[in-house]
């Protein structure tokens, strides 16, 4: 028997970063939107924990127990006194180390698929607590939609969104390490930063489904750090806005760049121009918000 979960990527429409805490994490005001690029995680009963992965980026995904999906299966099994004897197969469509929470998506998918495979019927609040243990972005991968994340991003409040936003995502060659981007953020802000607060204008734009207003309030405090580590992203951002995007922003810790567009037709045009610009590896169109981790078979 097999169970498959489909899990979306995310974009941070606002990522306000506070100073480093004693535990090394940063307090955030993190406004997540789930976007329609998905990984699929299939859990099949096996005689031991085993991991496989397919997709264009599969060679960059670790297949040992450092994989977040394997850690999720181990955590769920331990919580229920079971052995984590499962084969997890990941169909990877989310860029690896791209700032779109691909590993977090796989962790949420593995939890959901293993919970169904093992018949452990874990209550949602316990699943969310396990997600937070696995990583700051994992709870959002489970719930999807739109949410404000406080703390290190794991304390979620769902947000209201009207309509559909049209995006283009430009994936870069190679990834950026999230801890390295936070270290660069600390280096660039030696005298401290203000308390992170969600932007009222941004929350209103989401509520109203107003793409132009959302574009005007998109903000990522990690962008200067990502650009400092990968200066070539400036050309990607420039190419997308020159081609008609309302605006472009680095997605999370990067290096994927996200472009908000007024409609699906413009998104296609921007994606074509980005592919032809030579400033990114590939460009894809998609929409948001979409639901979180879902069992699909
Ligand atoms: P975030 O946006 O949450 O900061 P990210 O999208 O930038 O994360 P991931 O794709 O989650 O980055 O991967 C970051 C690193 O985690 C990878 O370079 C890889 O070594 C490791 N990793 C562990 N599990 C996975 C997984 N299931 N898929 C991809 N990478 C994984």
Ligand 1 centroid, distance to 95 Cα (angstroms): 9
- Strand-pair partners of 102: none
pTM: 0.95
CA 200 / ligand 1 centre spacing (Å): 31
Q: Is 253 in the pocket of ligand 1 (CB under 6 A)?
A: yes
Question: Domains in the chain, start-ordered, CATH in brackets?
Answer: 2-159 (3.30.230.10), 165-288 (3.30.70.890)
What pLDDT digit, counting tens, does each position of 141-161 carry? 999 999 999 998 889 999 999
DSSP code for 96? T
Q: Whose CA is nearest to atom 24 of ligand 1?
A: 67
Residue bearing tokens 């496989």: 52
Q: Provide the percentage of residues in the chain whose pLDDT is more than 90.
A: 93
| Average pLDDT value over all residues in the chain | 96
72 lines ligand 1 (CB under 6 A): no
Residue 137 catalytic?
A: yes
Residue-wise pLDDT for 184-197, tens only, equals: 999 999 988 999 99
Indicate whether residue 97 lines ligand 1 (CB < 6 A): yes
% the chain with pLDDT above 70: 100
Helix ranges, 118-177 (H): 124-134, 138-143
Q: Would you state the pLDDT for residue 191? A: 87
Task: Locate all alpha helices (DSSP H) within 158-263, ordered by sequence.
Answer: 178-188, 200-208, 211-217, 223-229, 233-242
3-state secondary structure of 291: strand
157: left (phi over 0), alpha (psi -120 to 50) or beta: beta
The span from the first CA to the last CA of the chain, in angstroms, equals 10
pLDDT-derived band of residue 294, with 50, 70 and 90 as boundaries? very high
Q: Which residues contact 124 (CB under 8 A, 6 or more apart)?
A: none
> Where does residue 124 rank: exposed (0-12), middle (13-18), buried (19+ CB within 10 A)?
exposed
**Is 269 annotated in the active site?**
no
Atom number, ligand 1, closest to the C-alpha of residue 96: 10
Sign of CA dihedral 226, 230, 236, 237: positive
pLDDT for 174 beyond 90: no
Neighbours of 56 (CB within 10 A): 13
Catalytic residue among 27, 39, 137, 221: 137
Whether ligand 1 lies within 6 angstroms of the CB of 61 is answered as yes
């Amino acid at each position: 028997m097999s169970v498959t979960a489909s899990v979306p990527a995310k974009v941070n429409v606002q990522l306000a970063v506070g100073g480093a805490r004693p535990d090394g994490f940063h307090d955030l005001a993190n406004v997540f939107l789930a976007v329609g690029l998905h990984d699929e995680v299939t859990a099949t009963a096996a005689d031991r924990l085993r991991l496989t992965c397919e997709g264009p980026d599969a060679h960059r995904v670790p297949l040992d127990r450092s994989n977040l999906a394997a850690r999720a299966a181990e955590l769920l099994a331990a919580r229920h006194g079971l052995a984590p004897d499962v084969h997890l197969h990941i169909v990877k469509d989310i860029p690896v180390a791209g700032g779109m929470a691909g590993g977090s998506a796989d962790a949420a998918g593995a939890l959901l698929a293993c919970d169904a495979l093992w018949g452990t019927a874990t209550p949602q609040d316990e699943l969310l607590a396990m997600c937070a243990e696995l990583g700051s972005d994992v709870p959002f991968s489970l719930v999807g939609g739109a949410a404000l994340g406080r703390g290190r991003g794991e304390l979620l409040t769902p947000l209201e969104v009207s309509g559909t936003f049209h995006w283009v995502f430009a994936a870069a060659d190679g990834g950026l390490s999230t801890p390295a981007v936070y270290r660069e953020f600390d280096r660039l802000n030696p005298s401290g930063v203000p308390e992170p607060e969600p932007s009222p204008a941004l929350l209103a734009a989401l509520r109203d489904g107003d793409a132009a207003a959302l574009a005007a309030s998109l903000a990522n405090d990690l962008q200067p750090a990502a650009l400092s580590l990968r200066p070539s992203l400036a050309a990607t951002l420039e190419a997308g806005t020159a081609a008609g995007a309302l605006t472009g922003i680095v997605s999370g810790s990067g290096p994927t760049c996200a472009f908000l567009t007024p409609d699906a037709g413009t998104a296609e045009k921007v994606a074509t121009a980005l592919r032809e610009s030579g400033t990114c590896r590939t460009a894809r169109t998609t929409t948001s918000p979409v639901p979180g981790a879902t069992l699909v078979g």
